[in-house]
Chain A
Amino acid sequence: MLQVFTHANFPLMGRIRWAFFAFSTLANLLALYAIIFIGFNYGIDFAGGTAVQLKFNERPPVDAMRAALEKAGLGDISIQSIGAADDNEVLIRVEQRRPPAGAPEGEGGDVSARVLEALKNAEETGAATAGKIDLNMASVADLESWLAQRLPAPAAEAAAGGGMGAAAVAKTIATYRTEHGGLFKDLAELSAIPGLPAEAIRLLQSQATLGRFTLRSVEFVGPTAGKELLRDTGLAILGSVAGILIYVWFRFHKWVWGLTSIVALIHDVLIAAGAIALTGKEFSLPVVAALLTILGYSINDTIVVFDRIRENLRLYRDQDFVTVVNASVNQTLSRTVLTSFTVFIAVTALYLYGGDKLNPLSFCLLVGVVFGSYSSIFVASAMLVVIYNRFGAKLVKA
């Protein structure tokens, strides 16, 4: 039988607990320092503004892009590469600006349209004026109406054996493009698309162009929305903490148990949030989701341990409290470690393979899961022992 800990009997609640207290205090201080003095790298959800994600055919010319955007007078902008190096993706952020009085309100689309306009080089602008369609930027609808004006009528084509109208051609091309990373590198690729009529291929190869990039996503969050999201986040966290406190209090009858588990929980969330601030990972809505999950999950381990302590207190009434807690922690050590381990596996897979968007979320969960197990033993249970030693049985035992 495989077993992590058989007959574990570590003196975890002995003097060594002070070393862990010191470690926890330090970790929390570091987290607080990171949150207050380094601060969160607020994503667009909270900071507001516009974010445009582009994917290029080759290495994105970041410096040239920056110069072009500055020339367009878009104010504070930042450009960063995202994903793997050969993804050639960039994220352009334009800070929120109050529109000048009397001007139409700053709508996100206006900013993103201006970003795209500013990034076009002479060749791309020229092609657009000449009525050429950019196969990398065109939407299905654009492509369809462009083709409809240029392709022979479907009836005539059907007679000629083509049998594919503008709508079908546009859809086939768009589907191929979506399945191949969203970009064409060469117009010759069109010939490789199965089922496309030769007529359409000839037309596009002579009259379409390929821009250097395609639009992956546009996000705009106005100042009001950003503030509201931040407020909702605060409410969600407060509500969860209160709900869990009430539940644990009700479940274990003694408020001290509720208190220590809440301290453990705040400990975990604080460290996870601090890790986000320290690493400069984007603080976005999914990170909030991760923090709330940690709230719920961290208490999980604590409850497993507490349940066992309560059970053992009933079984061994004549035993010393510290001994009982120590025995309970040791008895549940295997599962505390194992349950976290399985979650840890799942989250690690997300962190490594889940892509860019899930990266901050899974990183936050990773930190939270590890500290969640740690704190149920070295914060929640150890605090019970400390309180027992200081204030006696009345507060702790039912």
Chain B
Amino acid sequence: MTFDLRWRLLLILGLILLCGFIIYPPADKIHLGLDLKGGIHMVMRVKTDDAVKAEIDLTTERVRAALGEKGLAPQQAAADGLDTIILSGLDPARLSEARDLLGRQFAQYRVTSDGTGRLRLQLSATETQAVRDSAVRQALETIRTRVDKFGVAEPTIQRQMSGNADRILVQLPGVEDPERVKDLIGSPAFLEWKLVKVPPGLTVEQFNPPDSPQALDQAFGGRLPEDVEALPQDRTTTDGRTMRVYWPVTKSSPITGNDLKNSRRSQDRFGAPAVSFLLTADAGQRFQELTRRNQGQLLAIVLDRKIISAPRINAVISDEGIIEGGNFTMESSEDLALKLRSGALPAGMEILEERTVGPSLGADSIRQGIVASVIGSIIVILFMLVYYRLSGINAVLALGLNVLILLAAMAYVHSTLTLPGIAGIALTVGMAVDANVLVFERIREELRLGRTVKAAIHAGFDKALSTIVDSNLTTLIAGIFLYAYGTGPVRGFAVTLNVGIMANLVTAVFVSRAIFDAALTLHPRVERLSI
């Protein structure tokens, strides 16, 4: 045996050991995709417009305050479009003073005068983009925290980097309950406390919230006061129907979810599920002040612009309290507490794509995929052995090593095996022997031309090499595009196909040739090749 051949065989042995080491034990090392393992796959879009709108609303208030301090308050300050605030009814004589002041204090806005006594503040494009970007990043963090606290093993939560930057991909293996998860990670969970402003002439006891915003306007004599807004509450009537009523509440929220220090599931005094909360020290003082000054009033608890309940303030509350009367179940109170602990999402979420696979379907898919692959492989192997006889063994060894390398590479880069991925492996088995066929047919041709076994083998490999490289590369080109544009399970197909093709180059060219050379060394005087 030549030194060169010994070295090559050692390399192959090392490769086999390395692959075996990477794969072992397969159950832990080969990561199954959600379509095989069961679980939830979701693509969500962060409604970043919400975040821009919130930024504009906040700025509107601050502009009003800043101008008010200098006695320049506009009669009206309103958002125009998504990124612009229009101030009207300013003192015409001090317009430029107001403009300079705003220009200084709100540098991220472009302040212009439209010549009719109004001022426009427009958020710059880069600043708008920054607001959107930070909303997505914050949403990502919040979702991550919520999922962590919910306790899912090996979740994938990532921002989609290609194309649309406002997309978030969430994959939760083994989770079967899409409704609960969607609410858990998709609802903003922005909590606010707002005082109820009953219409003039009515006491708190006399007021009953009407079932339409118009009726509420009527109660206030046609129009709600400037600082009051109408928010809905869904009530369950005694006969089980849902009814929506509208409460008049203050626009400002003295306390919000941002003031929470902690929250957890608890029970109200009747034993029904509720959520208890703990405020920060600072907010606790504000809450104490608020409840002391407004004894006997109603304090609405608002979650995502919907009223949960509006209990009466009967005592001074400082930093500890309870949210009750929201028709909670054990599960929903647990989930709300978790969401409040994790913080609110900066914007609403829209679900673009959702796929849930139950565990039994996944198990069936695995079984069918494996059965199909094994049957396919056995027939291919039998065919190679019958058609190429002893040389067929060579092809089968190369094929086995090909699949081994494929699995090891997937385990090494933590790629997931999906159902189409299994199809990719089956296809690889069919294609892997292609290269062997190319070489063997070439060897046969050379033998027919009267060459010796050794010369025919060498010529066969040399002449078939460029064809093998060519054909594998073109398949790889399509596979790379498939990977680049494919999503989810299809990407899994691209992975196994591409890795399989590359492994094929190694086994068909290098390994298969080494086996022939080894056989030739053992039988140097062979005159007939079993092919």
Residues of chain A at the chain B interface (Cβ within 8 Å): 1-3, 53, 55, 105, 107-109, 112-113, 139-142, 145, 174, 177-179, 181-183, 214-222, 224-225, 228-229, 232-233, 235-237, 239-240, 243-244, 247-248, 251, 285-286, 288-289, 292-293, 295-297, 299-301, 303-304, 307, 311, 331, 334-335, 338-339, 341-350, 352-355, 357-358, 361-362, 365
Contact = CB atoms under 8 A, between A and B. Distances in A.
A91 B438 CA distance: 44
B524 interface: no
Interface string B43-62: 10100000000000000000
Given A222-B351, A346-B380, A352-B372, A285 B478 contact: no
B466 A307 contact: yes
Given A112-B178, A334-B441, A353-B371, A248 B474 contact: yes
A109 to B, nearest CB: 5
Given A303-B470, A353-B372, A145 B331 contact: yes
Contacts of B43: 225
A312 B380 CA distance: 31
Given A217-B356, A225-B352, A357-B365, A145 B330 contact: yes
A236 B360 contact: no
A181 B368 CA distance: 13
A293 B477 CA distance: 10
Contacts of A105: 350
B361 A358 contact: no
20 contacts: A55-B360, A217-B355, A219-B356, A224-B45, A225-B352, A232-B485, A236-B481, A236-B485, A244-B478, A292-B479, A292-B481, A293-B475, A296-B479, A297-B475, A342-B434, A350-B427, A358-B420, A358-B423, A361-B420, A361-B423
A343 B475 contact: no
B430 interface: yes
Contacts of A243: 477-478, 480-481
A238 to B, nearest CB: 9
Contacts of B497: 293
In the complex, the 6 A-B pairs of residues with the closest C-beta atoms, listed nearest first = A182-B360, A296-B478, A346-B430, A349-B376, A355-B368, A296-B475
B354 A220 contact: yes
A93 to B, nearest CB: 14
B311 interface: no
Specify the main secondary structure of chain A where it touches its partner: helix
Given A240-B477, A355-B369, A343 B420 contact: no
Specify the main secondary structure of chain B where it touches its partner: helix
Interface string B416-433: 000110110011011101
B426 A347 contact: yes
Interface of B: 35, 43, 45, 163-164, 176-179, 182, 330-331, 350-361, 363-365, 368-369, 371-373, 375-377, 379-380, 383-384, 386-387, 419-420, 422-423, 426-427, 429-431, 433-434, 437-438, 441, 444-445, 463, 466-467, 470-471, 473-482, 484-490, 493-494, 497, 531
A1 B360 contact: no
Nearest to A287: B490
B242 to A, nearest CB: 14
A218 B176 contact: no
Given A304-B438, A338-B437, A355-B368, A348 B356 contact: no
A103 to B, nearest CB: 13
A348 B437 contact: no
A1 B471 contact: no
Given A304-B438, A339-B433, A354-B368, 17 more contacts: A142-B177, A177-B360, A218-B178, A218-B354, A222-B353, A225-B353, A236-B485, A247-B473, A285-B488, A303-B467, A338-B437, A338-B441, A349-B376, A353-B368, A355-B365, A357-B35, A358-B420
A240 B363 CA distance: 34
Contacts of A112: 178
A236 B162 CA distance: 14
Given A300-B475, A354-B372, A219 B354 contact: yes
Nearest to A52: B356
Contacts of B476: 296
Contact of A214 (B358, B373, B463): B358
Contacts of A350: 372-373, 376, 423, 426-427
B485 A233 contact: yes
A224 B467 CA distance: 43
A342 B361 contact: no
Q: Which among A214, A233, A334, A338 has the highest number of chain B CB atoms within 10 Å?
A: A338
B471 A303 contact: yes
B445 A331 contact: yes
Contact of B369 (A179, A218, A358): A358
Contact of B355 (A141, A177, A219): A219
A236 B474 contact: no
A306 B151 CA distance: 58
Nearest to A349: B376
Contacts of B494: 289
Contacts of B478: 240, 243-244, 292-293, 295-297
A357 B367 CA distance: 13
B363 A342 contact: no
Contact of A343 (B386, B431, B470): B431
A342 B39 CA distance: 35
Contacts of B386: 2
A328 to B, nearest CB: 12
A114 B420 CA distance: 30
Contact of B485 (A113, A235, A335, A343): A235
